[in-house]
């Protein structure tokens, strides 16, 4: 600092912080503000890479919480399908079918991998959903799985199944660019925990699926990821490529992440089925950190049961992830939903909700279970977003302080560079009290969820998108129907900017619309059972995008 502070400097700063001091109070601060700033500058001199975690850890469990299960248990439905003659039908088949065909040697993993690689070669130029295609790796891994199959060895339900991995998970020797220009040539020297878990489960890596730069939106350094149902609009983000590739049949399944909407939003846009597990269930070691207290890892699939199959392989405590929590995963796909109770917030189905949303609630009432209104305490849930902004700005502080953020393509008002710059003016005192508000929100959501197995609601209306991400509750988002609407984002640097409704004379497209289910902490099984029943009742999950296959 070259010049001393003045009372006018403090008065100007007060406007940014939303506080007011007297002239006497400002004069009193002048003598010791410099030391406060020097301490901050000294800390900035210590380089903290993205892998350095926070000392504080978020735990979604309230003091009264009891883990619902003691041991892992996965039981899948027994609905084997005959192997189709058509490659497209094979590509779009559910994981349960793909797994059965590989295990029974009706198809080899290599043949299945070749089908997906051919579809990627043909359709990825239109969708821009893969940042890197690892064809040689995929075929080598597929051959290894086929050798095990011939030897009578199975690594589990994902044995030999090709998948796409969001490009924020480290893959040794394979570019992991985080969707952002400053990191587009980044090649890690080791694998992420999720990468290792998928390999151990026998899954075959087709490539790295795109994400919006630094896990926001669908615009990345190599292009703009499209929605297969309308190539004029983005696939949403940040798990843009994972949802687009899965919806278009360019993989058996994919892995995504969510901080606040990054699994559910692209699943809503592309019509996939996304499962955001309870915070702490899946390891984030070796994954790009955006927000240490919010980041979650989960599967993106084409059916509800498939998400449970993948989560079983992802689940597990990891001492290297400070947010990891040991929690058994229990899911019996054959379990009846009789006696279950589904809650809903009436206001969430009012203004802003669609006819598809309301029809999904009607369908839920027709399942023969108890569906009842619940209430949620009126709190400023949106204020919690400043926690996200502060953590994200801390995770990528160097970009802001060195002006490397100027290299990011998306520079609009709502983009990361601007948001991270603004976050420098957030108050530390407010941040501590936001954390205390978060605890109040945990209590409020916990009280609301008492007496219900799950909650149903629209993706965006109501408080649950924000509230449940900050409490760590799991969310299942599945396709509920279709809407005929205009393009929601333009192919420009502003990709992701939504339009509302149908502009007069503008072309419309038939696109998917989903519904969300939120479940109890560390008890995703009943959530999936309800999702399977609702999926069957709605009967819209199997329709494929209509663009040229």
Distance from chain centroid for Cα 38: 38
Q: What is the 3-state secondary structure (H, E, C) of 399-447?
A: HHHHCHHHHCCCCCCCCHHHHHHHHCCCCHHHHHHHHHHHHHHHHHHHH
Which of 166, 197, 208, 296 is an active site residue? 166
Task: Calculate ∠ Cα 46-47-51, nearest 5°.
Answer: 130
Helix H segments across 128-260? 135-150, 193-200, 240-247
Q: Is residue 255 within 8 Å of residue 272, measured between CB atoms?
A: no
Closest CA to 420 of 381, 393, 447, 454: 393
Which of 99, 235, 254, 262 is an active site residue? 262
| Active-site residue flag, 238 | yes
Q: CA-to-CA distance for 126 and 464, rounded, in angstroms?
A: 34
> Residue 276: beta bridge partners?
475
| Cβ atoms within 10 Å, residue 106 | 13
| Active-site residue flag, 372 | no
**Beta strands of 268-426 (E only): which ranges?**
273-276, 296-301, 330-332, 341-344, 370-373
Find the Cα–Cα–Cα–Cα dihedral 450, 452, 455, 456, rounded to 10°: -150
| Active-site residue flag, 166 | yes
Q: Is residue 212 within 8 Å of residue 218, measured between CB atoms?
A: yes
Peptide bond into 238 cis (omega under 30): yes
Q: CA-to-CA distance for 513 and 363, rounded, in angstroms?
A: 15
Q: CA-to-CA distance for 424 and 481, rounded, in angstroms?
A: 42
Q: CA-to-CA distance for 230 and 74, rounded, in angstroms?
A: 36
Which of 99, 109, 238, 489 is an active site residue? 238
Closest CA to 158 of 102, 107, 111: 102
Hey, which residues are catalytic here? 166, 238, 262
């Amino acid at each position: 600092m070259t010049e001393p502070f003045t009372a006018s400097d403090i008065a100007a700063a007060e406007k940014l912080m939303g506080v007011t001091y007297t002239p006497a109070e400002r004069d009193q601060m002048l003598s010791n503000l410099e030391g406060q700033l020097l301490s901050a500058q000294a800390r900035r001199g210590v380089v903290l890479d993205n892998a350095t975690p926070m000392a504080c850890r978020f735990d979604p469990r309230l003091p009264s919480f009891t883990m619902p299960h003691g041991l892992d248990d996965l039981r899948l439905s027994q609905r084997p399908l005959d192997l189709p003659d058509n490659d497209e039908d094979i590509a779009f088949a559910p994981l349960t079918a793909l797994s059965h065909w590989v295990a029974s040697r009706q198809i080899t993993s290599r043949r299945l991998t070749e089908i997906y690689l051919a579809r990627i070669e043909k359709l990825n130029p239109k969708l821009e959903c893969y940042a890197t295609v690892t064809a040689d790796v995929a075929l080598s891994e597929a051959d290894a799985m086929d050798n095990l199959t011939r030897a009578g060895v199975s690594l589990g339900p994902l044995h030999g199944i090709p998948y796409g991995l969001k490009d924020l998970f480290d893959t040794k020797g394979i570019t992991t660019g985080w969707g952002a220009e400053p990191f587009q040539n980044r090649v890690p020297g080791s694998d992420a925990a999720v990468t290792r878990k998928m390999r151990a489960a026998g899954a075959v890596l087709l490539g790295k699926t795109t994400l919006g730069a630094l896990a926001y939106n669908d615009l990345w350094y190599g292009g703009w990821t499209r929605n297969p149902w309308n190539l004029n609009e983005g696939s949403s983000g940040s798990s843009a490529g994972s949802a687009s590739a899965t919806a278009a049949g360019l993989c058996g399944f994919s892995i995504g992440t969510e901080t606040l909407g990054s699994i559910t939003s692209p699943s809503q846009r592309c019509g996939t089925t996304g499962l955001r597990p309870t915070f702490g269930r899946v390891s984030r070691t070796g994954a790009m950190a955006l927000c240490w207290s919010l980041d979650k890892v989960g599967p993106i699939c084409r059916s509800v049961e498939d998400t449970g199959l993948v989560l079983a392989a992802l689940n597990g405590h990891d001492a290297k992830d400070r947010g990891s929590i040991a929690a058994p995963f229990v899911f019996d796909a054959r379990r009846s939903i009789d006696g279950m109770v589904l809650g809903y917030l009436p206001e969430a189905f009012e203004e802003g909700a669609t006819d598809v949303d309301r029809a999904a609630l009607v369908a839920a009432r027709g399942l023969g279970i108890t569906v009842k209104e619940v209430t949620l305490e009126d709190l400023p849930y949106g204020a919690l977003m400043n926690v996200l902004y502060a953590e994200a700005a801390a995770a990528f502080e160097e970009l802001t302080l060195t002006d490397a953020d100027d290299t990011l393509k998306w520079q609009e008002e709502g983009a990361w560079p601007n948001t991270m710059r603004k976050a420098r003016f957030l108050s530390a005192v407010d941040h501590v009290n936001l954390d205390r508000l978060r605890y109040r929100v945990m209590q409020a959501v916990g009280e609301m969820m008492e007496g219900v197995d799950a909650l149903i609601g629209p993706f965006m209306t109501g408080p649950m998108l924000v509230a449940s991400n900050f409490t760590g509750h799991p969310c299942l988002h599945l396709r509920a129907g279709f809407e005929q609407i205009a393009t929601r984002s333009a192919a420009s640097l502003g990709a992701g900017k939504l339009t509302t409704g149908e502009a007069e004379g503008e072309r419309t497209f038939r696109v998917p619309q989903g519904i969300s289910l939120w479940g109890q902490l560390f008890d995703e099984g009943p959530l999936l059972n309800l999702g399977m029943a609702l999926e069957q009742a709605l009967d819209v999950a199997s329709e494929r995008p209509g663009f040229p296959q």
